Every structure is written in C-alpha cells, then in structure tokens.
Amino acid sequence: MRYLLLNTTACAALMLATGYAHADMAAAEKFLAEEIAGLSVLSEAEQKAEMEFFINAAKPFEGMEIKVVSETIGTHEYESKVLAPAFSAITGIKVTHDLIGEGDVVEKLQTQMQSGENIYDGYVNDSDLIGTHWRYQQVRNLTDWMAGEGKDVTNPGLDVADFIGTSFTTAPDGKLYQLPDQQFANLYWFRYDWFNDEKNKSDFKAKYGYDLGVPVNWSAYEDIAQFFTGRDMSHLGVEGKVYGNMDYGKKDPSLGWRYTDAWMSMAGMGDKGEPNGLPVDEWGIRVNDKSQPTGSCVDRGGATNDAAAVYAVTKAIDWLKSYSPPEAAGMTFGEAGPIPAQGNVAQQMFWYTAFTAATVEPGLPVMNEDGTPKWRMAPSPHGAYWEEGMKVGYQDAGSWTLMKSTPVDRAQAAWLYAQFVTSKTVDLKKSDVGLTFIRESTINSQHFTDRANKLGGLIEFYRSPARVQWSPTGTNVPDYPKLAQLWWQNIGDAMSGEKTPQEALDSLCADQEKVLERLERAGVQGELGPVMNEKHDLAYWNNYAKEHGSVAPRIKLANEKPAGETVSYDELINSWK
Amino acid sequence: MRMHRLDCGATLGPEQCFGPNLFHRYFQVPACRSVFQTQSTEKTSEKTVTLSSPYRSEIQTSSAWWLLLPALSVLAFVGVLPLLTIFNYSFFDIFTLESRFWIGTEWYREILSSSRFFESLARSLVFSAIILSIQIPLGVFIALLLPRDGKTGMAFLMMLALPLMVPWNTVPSMWVSFLGNPAGFGGRFLAMFGVDFDYKFNALHTWILLVAMDTWHWIGLVVILCYSSLSTIPPAHYQAAAIDGASRLQVFRFVELPKMSAVLMMALLLRFMDSFMIYTEAFRVNAGGPKDATTFLSLDLGEEIAAFNYGPAAARSIIYFMIVLAIAWSFRTIMNIRRDQTLGARQR
C-alpha cells in the first residue's frame, strides 16, 4: 500500500510538473487503450502519468537508434514485437530488440566485455552472472547509476522494492547490478489426478506404509517413481506404459544446466544461506570472508566432489535408468521438455515453470475439459543431505544489464526502454502473456487471483513466502561462462557410465579449480578474485566447517535413504497462504 | 625418348599407350599438332625478348610485382593477419583484451602432453581416411557413369549438387529426424529389416551416420570436379584408345585418370581439410559421444571457444593449422614425387 501511495504521489507530481509533452501522448494513449486495455495494476491516470515521464525523459534521445538483446522466450517475444514498437512510437527512440539463444546472448556480452566494443546498448542477461559482473566490474551498478548519470532517466514510479528478484541481482557490496525483467523457477510437477485416485492411494499405502502425496524428500520421490513405473493405469483411462520419472541424459550442453542451477543443493550439497549457500554454494565453490573463491574440490574446502554431490549425481542416473522412458537417456533438454504433457509421466522432480503456458493448452492429455489442469506444481523434494535453510530450487532471473563500455547517452536510452518493459503500466499485461513474474504488485493482482486455478499452482507458489528459497547462481561463481561450460562434459561422462559419479565429479572440481587458479594467477579480478586454499583432507575441512558453524564439505551418510515423507497437496497450498 | 604432350595436364609415353603404330598415326591429328605449334612459338618469342632487351624485362618483372600488391594485401588481410593475431593470443591467458596474462608456451605444452589430444587426433585422422577412401573413388565412379552430353549430364550434376547447398546446421538435423524411429522414414525402413539403428549409444552406428552424412553432403563436389575434367578430354583420345583396342580399364588408367589427376588432387585436399575439421555435424549428432567415440579435434576446440578460453583455443588452432598444413604438403609432395618418377621412367 505504501508503494502504491508513493507511486501515485510521484505520478501526480509528474503530471503537474510536465504538461507539455502532448505531442507523443497520442501514441501513448493509443497504446494504453488498445494494448494494455485496463490490464494494469495502475489506474488510467497513473498509466498516463507514467507514459508522460517516458515521453519527457526521452526528449534528449529522440531519433536515436538503440539495440538491445535477450534470449528467445515468450515474454521477450512480446517485448520485441509489441512493446518495443510502442516504446518507439511513444518516445521517438528507435529500439531494435533482438531475440537470440541464451548462449548467444552470453557470447555477445562476453565479446563486449573482452573487447570493450559496444555491441548492444542493453542486455537481458541471466542473473547467474552476478558474480562475474561484480568481479570484472564491467557492468554499471544500477544503485550508483540511478543516483548519478541515470538519475534524470530513472522513472520515479520504478519502485525497485516491488521487484521480487532484486536479492539475486545484488552483489556482496550491497549494490544492485541488474534489473529483473522475467523470472521462472523449477518446481516439482505431478499428476494431481493420479495422486488423488483412491485405488492408487490405497495401493501405495499398502506397499510403502505412508500416504501417497507430494514427496517431501527424495526417498518418497523414489518410492513414488517405483510405484508408478509400469503400473497399470487403465482404470484411469491411461493407455501405454506409465513412468514414475522424467529426465534427460544425452551428452549435450543442456545436460549441465540443471546441475549448475540447483540439483546439487536440492540433494543437500553446500551450505545453508539465502539466496545461495555460504561459504560453500550449490556449485561446491567455497569463498572466504572477503567473498574470494578459495576452492571447489573437497581438499580445498569445496564440495563439488563431496559425498552429497556424489549422491546427487548417482540418484539422477539411477532414476533416469530405472523409472524414465527408455528414450529419455538419449534426449536433450528441448526434446524432454514436452514429454510430461503427453500424459504418461507421473511426476518430474525438476520442471521449469517456463513450460506452464505450453502445458495448459486446451486439448492436451493432461488438461481437463473445463480448462483446468490435471497436474499441479509443488516445491521439489530434497535429498538426504539437505537441511533446513539450504537452497531448494532454481529461479532464473533474466535481468537488464548495462555495460560500462556502452556510451552514457545510449545506456540512458536503453535504461528508459528497460524501465518501460518492466513498468507497472505494462507488467500485468506482459505477465499475462509470458507468466514470468517479476513484480509483487502483479502477483497479488486480482487478475491473477481469478486466473490462478488455470495455472496449476503457479500463482500459489509466487504468493508464498517460500519462493525466495528458489534462487539463481550466486556470487561465489567468479566467471560463469567459463565454469558453466565444464559441467555437461563431466556430468555426461557419469551419465554414460564412462566414469563413476565420483570420478566425474573429481574431474569436474579439478577443472573448476583450474579456472580459479588461472583467475588468481592473472589477477584480473583484483581484490575480488580467487585466492586458493591450501590442500587438506576431508576430515580437516569437515572439522573446519563444524567449528565455523557450517556443514560443507560432507562426509558420506550411513543411510542415504531415510523414511519416505509426503504431504497432501491441498494441505501444502494452505500452508502457503 | 621424347615426351609427347597431349595437353596441358597429362603426359603419356607411347609404349604405355596404345602401341607404336597407332600412336604415330594419332599425332597426325591437326588439333593436337597445333598444341605443339603454339608452345614452340611461345618459347621462341620469350627467348627473343630476353636476349634482345634485358633491361626492359627487368622493368617488366618489377612492375609485375607492383601489380601484385592489391592481391597480396588482400591476402595478408584475410589470411596472414588473423593467423598472426591468433598466434599472438596463443601465448596469453586472456580474460579481457586489456588484461592479457603472458604465459609463454604453456598452452602448447598442456595440449601436446594430454592423451585426449592424441586420441582426438587419431579419431580425426581415421575419419578423414575413411572419408577419402570412400568419397574419392565413389566420386570418380559416379562422374564416369554420367552421360557427357549437355542436358542429361547437367541434370544429374544439378541433382548431385543439391546437398552442397544445404546449410551445415541443417544436415545433421535432417539426418537425425530421417533416422528417428518411429518418426523417421529411414529409421522405420531399417527397423523393417530388424536393424535397430542407435546412433545415440552405439559408437559404430554414430560413425556410420557421420560418414554417410558427410558423403551425402560432399560427394557432389568430387563428382563435379571429376566430371569437369573428364568433359575436357577430346573424343579423339577415346577414338585412339578404341582403335588401339584398349580395355575400359586401360582407358581409365591411361586416358582418364591422368587427365583427372590435377583436379583429383584438389578434391583430395579439399575433402581432407573439411573432413579433418568436421564440427557441426559431429557436434549436432552426438556432441562427440557416445563415450567420446566421435570426439574429433574440432570438438575439443569448440569447447574451448564456448568457454571463452581464447588462449588455449588459439594454441589449438595453431596446432591444428600446422597439422593440416603438414599433411596437405606431404600429399602434394608425394604426388609430385610420383609424377616425377613416372616422368623419369617414361623418359628413360
């Protein structure tokens, strides 16, 4: 409410102060009437006031042509095709919003970082790179920007506090480096209709001794996977073989994504802490008190190859082999994505909410005739090593990033566009199209209260306080592009059986340390760069962790399969309210 | 014995050809005689210039070098400069261009002392050897089968050239969907014969797929090259061979093959270099798998580039460049030695 008041006051003040910009107001009014059409958290007068800010602030840049870039997902397609032309018409700044693959975005950004040549005036770059941006200091920190060079072009109605992802884009120095533009999380996905079927429930209880429900831990997930795999589901009209798990295992760059996203911390690798484990994060990289990375292997205090990591990879391989469709082992991320919607999969541990829009299409085998889904999403279960306070999942936060190598005036114009596509005027409409929420005000809007039952739990998740436990890669990772590249090859070796999980992870952590050592040797990150620890054995580091009140690296648990634990979905939803 | 020059490409000794009698009769053909005539005239005139006016010739030579300048500068810009840049990068660890860290020959030592490098090298060499041993004979064979007359031959050539126009990214996607079972036609076809074609997990199948794909993509090039040189053989040569009673094999060995040798050399080099550096197809089909069975040199390089490791990537590029250069040079040298030997044998 406070924000709303502030915002209203700011907008009203703006309206009084700037009465001369009516030349472009026609385009703005047309946009508000035809495109937004009331689907906004702001009143009509507030929307107009916000538009007036953009018109006036853009005056010095009229006629300028700027280029921005983002990955190809629905939300950005909407921005590129609808919002960018509208912004150009309203402000006179010609925006070309390019859509390319996420890997290519990083490549362009990397090229600009390494060469200092301005390629794009603005980037929507995943906040996984926050550690990279903070350490290389090639990105404008927005806190200083908004108070300095960007002050005149910062929307008084921006309301940074309304963004739900700013903790991910803030570096250890307390400054905001990126502004979130779209977010999605990974959650547990399951067939609500199968789980609520009386026959399934009683059979499960008879076999495993506890209720069929949303698994709280990996033991329950495994039991449920085993229970459904090959089960005769004809009493629910399901044809063909049914599987208890869905995943992908082809050696391919996409194989690394899930592991660097959250899989290891879900198993319990790393330390406690939000948004990421400290001092050891979900990549197994340890940092010291000054946030300098100090190692990745167990012998340097890291956790990339500790018992929890081995457990995480071993389980993924076991489930892929025993409970997934046989083709899954040869699939990539893109090929595996649509499989659950085909109706023969009971649950999936790691499901990206970016698939929501594609999984609620009418006519799919997983949809009811009334347009409600037969599936639901819920928090992913956690592994045997996981403890309260650890990261439970991943949240991708594609965020506006302004490079220092971009000339100031171009950065200012790009900053105006960035604020336009994330403004309160357009955010509700944009979220309605792309379902990638970034603003508290949008999540809590009446519109999504009305739409919630069609979205399988997405709104309930975003409205719950638990959502902050889902986070992107954090600041322990000093060079995301170089380090992320190491994962798929090594995980792929484990998946194909070429190496045991332990061997693959030993090699992975050694590769990671090699990059850290190179950074240390070159000294390119200065005071923020890696300083490698001396080598000691596991017992030393485990004691060290205990003395300092942390847990990683871990010693192998005697029992990696504790009793299965489940919770009823409806109870879970109530606990979120 | 003197050599008789049939044309600018191939040389034949009379005994090895169709027998002495017909051979002499053959050289009564006016067209062939004119070749001799032209050559001797050229030689005489050259001699005259050199003898009568040495200064003028020098001026001509140096001005010719000046005329080469534009071409040389373009060559330097597109060829030498990038190579020098890469060579320079290979001695640094590069994080940003402003902050390069000198490390000397570390990348070279690291690459050349890793077993992975030699394994990949061996795979790449085997792959190229397979490709060449299939594509060159097959290309020649198809070119020989094609009718030499205008329209039909051209139609076949165009058909064969079609795959050359398919973008590299599309080729693996096409083949993978073609071989998919049950979605792909090829996959279903093979399944009918009980062949479970599993390019994802069976190394032999991945290799077969890559070889088949590369052959489909590039065979057109070899055929076109061979066909072009075959079509320049005057009918008189065949007539002479026929009159001599040469068998089909002899015609091929002594008329067609010598004629094609220069062009085949080019095809061999082109196909070697491309197959040795195969990337897109191998990466898209199985990303070097299963179990690294198709991890070629270029895939290792691709990984370095994807991780923005410019220093190691540059060092790899230089090493690969040297390998290609060495192999191409030895191809050429071997061919030259063989040609000289043949010439020598004939002259004796």
Assign residue A442 the CATH number of its domain: 3.40.190.10
DSSP letter, residue A565: -
How far apart are alpha carbons A157 and A169 in whole angstroms? 20
| Lowest-confidence segment of A275-284, B8-17, B215-224 by average pLDDT | B8-17
Q: pLDDT digit string (tens) for A219-262?
A: 999 999 999 999 999 999 998 999 999 999 988 888 999 899 99
Residues of B in contact with A497 (CB under 8 A): 291
Show residues of chain B in contact with A521, CB under 8 Å. 93, 101
Q: Is the pLDDT of residue B329 over 60?
A: yes
The CA-to-CA distance between both ends of chain A, in Å, stands at 19
Position of tokens 């940074």? Answer: A160
Contact between residue A553 and residue A309 where contact means Cβ atoms under 8 Å apart:
no
The residue of chain A nearest to residue B302, with distances taken between CA atoms, is A485
Q: Are residues A155 and A202 in the same domain?
A: no
Residues of A with Cβ-Cβ distance to B98 under 8 angstroms: 116
> Would you state the pLDDT for residue A357?
83
Instruction: Flag whether residue B306 sits within 8 Å of chain A, measured between CB atoms.
Output: yes
Taking an 8 Å cut-off on Cβ atoms, the answer to whether A116 and B309 are in contact is no
d(CA B273, CA B218): 12
Residues of chain A with pLDDT under 70: 1-23, 577
Q: Determine how β-strand A566-567 pairs with β-strand A179-191.
A: unpaired
Q: Which of B99, B287, B308 sits opposite A522 (nearest CB)?
A: B99
Closest chain A residue by Cα to residue B290 = A496
Q: Enter the ipTM.
A: 0.82
Chain B residue closest in CA terms to A482 = B307
Q: What pLDDT does residue B179 have?
A: 87
Token pair, residue A468, equals: 């902050």
Q: Is residue A88 part of a domain?
A: yes
Q: Does A342 touch chain B (CB under 8 A)?
A: no
Domain boundary pick from A417, A438, A469:
A469
The answer to whether residue B142 scores a pLDDT higher than 70 is yes
Q: Are residues A415 and A455 in the same domain?
A: yes
Report the C-alpha gap between A490 and A313 in whole angstroms. 11
Q: Which helix (H) or strand (E) holds B188?
A: helix B185-192
The pLDDT assigned to B7 comes to: 36
Query: Which residues in chain B touch residue A496, judged by CB atoms under 8 angstroms apart?
Result: 289-291
Rounded Cα–Cα distance for residues B198 and B285 (Å): 12
> Has residue B169 been placed in a domain?
yes
Query: Is A318 within a domain?
Result: no
φ/ψ of B293, rounded to 5, equals: -65, -25
Judge whether B339 lies within some domain.
Answer: yes
Least Cα separation, residue B130 to chain A (angstroms): 25
Q: Same structural domain for residues A131 and A61?
A: yes
Asked if A386 and A446 sit in the same domain, the reply is no
Please report which residue ranges of A487-553 form alpha helices under DSSP H: 487-495, 501-522, 538-547
Asked whether residue A10 is assigned to any structural domain, the reply reads yes
Residue B31 pLDDT > 50: no
CB A438 within 8 A of CB A162: no
* For residue B8, pLDDT beyond 70: no
Contacts of B95 in chain A (CB under 8 A): 114, 136, 479, 519, 522, 524
Q: CB atoms < 10 A from the CB of A211, how many?
A: 15
Does A30 share its domain with A171?
yes
Residue A496 maps to a domain: no
How big is the CA angle at B228 (ends B225 and B232), to the nearest 5 degrees?
A: 145
**What would the pLDDT profile of A111-169 be if each residue is shown by its tens digit?**
999 888 999 999 999 999 999 999 999 999 999 999 999 999 999 999 999 999 999 99
Q: Please tell me the distance from the alpha carbon of residue B17 to that of residue A458, in angstroms, as a whole number.
A: 84
Alpha-carbon separation of residue A164 from A42, A86, A141, A227 (angstroms): 18, 26, 18, 38
What DSSP element (H or E) covers B191?
Answer: helix B185-192
Note down the domain range covering B249.
Answer: 115-347
Query: Which pLDDT band holds residue B347 (cuts at 50, 70, 90)?
Result: low
Contact status of A574 with chain B (Cβ, < 8 Å): no
Same domain, A356 and A236: yes
Q: Indicate whether B143 belongs to any domain.
A: yes
Exposed/middle/buried for residue A44 (C-beta within 10 Å: 0-12, 13-18, 19+):
middle
Predicted pLDDT at B22: 38
A524 interface with B at CB cutoff 8 Å:
yes
Structure tokens belonging to residue A525: 């990150």
Residue B31, domain member (yes or no): no
Domain of B343: which CATH number? 1.10.3720.10
Same domain, A136 and A220: no
> Which residues pair with residue A397 across a beta bridge?
A183
- What's the pLDDT score for residue B341? 79
Q: Is A352 domain-assigned?
A: yes
Tell me, yes or no, whether A242 and A193 share the same domain. Answer: yes
Instruction: Report yes or no: A522 at the B interface, CB cutoff 8 Å.
Output: yes
pLDDT of residue B270 exceeding 80: yes
Q: Can you spell out the DSSP letters for A250-315?
A: -SSGGGGHHIIIIIHHHHT-S---SSS-SSB-TT--EE-TTS-EEESSGGGT--TTSHHHHHHHHH
Is the same domain home to A50 and A65? yes
Residue B60 pLDDT grade (very low, low, confident, very high; cuts 50, 70, 90): low
Nearest to B95 among A330, A496, A522 (CB): A522
Q: What's phi and psi for B268, nearest 5 deg?
A: -60, -45
Q: In this structure, is residue A482 part of a structural domain?
A: no
Of the listed ranges B231-235, B315-319, B334-338, the one predicted with least confidence: B334-338
Residue B248 in any domain: the answer is yes
Our CA-based measurement puts residue A45 at a distance from the nearest CA of chain B, in whole angstroms, of 48
| In a domain? residue A339 | yes
- Angle at which helix B257-276 crosses helix B203-230, to 10 degrees, equals 140
Interfacial B residues in 161-200 facing A (CB < 8 Å): 200
Residues A164 and A27 reside in one and the same domain: yes
Cβ <8 Å between B306 and A524: no
Which of A114, A250, A497 faces B96 most closely, judged by CB atoms?
A114
- Of A444, A469, A494, which residue constitutes the final position of a domain? A469
The confidence band for B348, taking pLDDT boundaries of 50, 70 and 90, is low
> Which of B95, B107, B291, B304 to probe the A interface (max A CBs under 10 A)?
B95
CA distance B3 to A363: 81
Predicted local distance difference test score (pLDDT) of residue B288: 87
pLDDT at residue B34, as a whole number: 34
Of the candidates A422, A453, A469, which is a domain's last residue? A469
Asked if pLDDT for residue B25 goes beyond 60, the answer is: no
Count how many pairs of residues, chain A against chain B, have C-beta atoms within 8 Å: 66
Q: Which domain holds residue A192?
A: 185-251+324-390+562-576
Q: What DSSP character marks residue A467?
A: G
- Same-domain check for residues A123 and A233: no
The token pair at A435 is 């379902």
User: What value does the mean pLDDT take over residues B291-316?
Assistant: 92
Dihedral, CA atoms, A77, A80, A83, A87, nearest 10 degrees?
Answer: 170
Our measurement of the distance from residue A571's CA atom to the centroid of its chain's CA atoms, rounded to an integer in Å, reads: 26
Taking the C-alpha atoms of B109, B112, B114 and B120 in order, what is their torsion angle to the nearest 10 degrees? 150
- Per the domain annotation, does B215 fall within a domain? yes
In a domain, B246, yes or no: yes
Cα–Cα distances (Å) from A103 to A72, A118, A248, in that order, read 11, 18, 20
Chain A residues touching residue B309 (CB < 8 angstroms): 482
| Contact across the interface for B289 and A492, Cβ inside 8 Å | yes
Whether residue A493 lies inside any domain: the answer is: no
The pairing of strands A65-71 and A94-100 is parallel
Beta-carbon contacts of residue B91 (< 8 Å; ≥ 6 apart): B102, B103, B104, B105, B107, B311
**Residue B7 near chain A (CB below 8 Å):** no
Q: Is residue B336 part of a domain?
A: yes
If you measure CA to CA, which chain A residue comes closest to B200?
A330
Q: Which residues contact A244 (CB under 8 A, 6 or more apart)?
A: A224, A225, A226, A227, A228, A229, A323, A345, A346, A347
Tally of structural domains, chain A: 2
Given a contact cutoff of 8 angstroms between Cβ atoms, the answer to whether A394 and A472 are in contact is: yes
Output B179 or B61, whichever has higher pLDDT: B179
Count of structural domains, chain B:
1
In degrees, to the nearest 5, what angle opens at C-alpha A485 toward C-alphas A483 and A487? 85
Q: A335 with B206: CB under 8 angstroms? A: no
pLDDT attached to residue A12 = 46
Residue A129 phi, psi (nearest 5): -90, 10
With residue A180 as reference, give the H or E element that holds it: strand A179-191
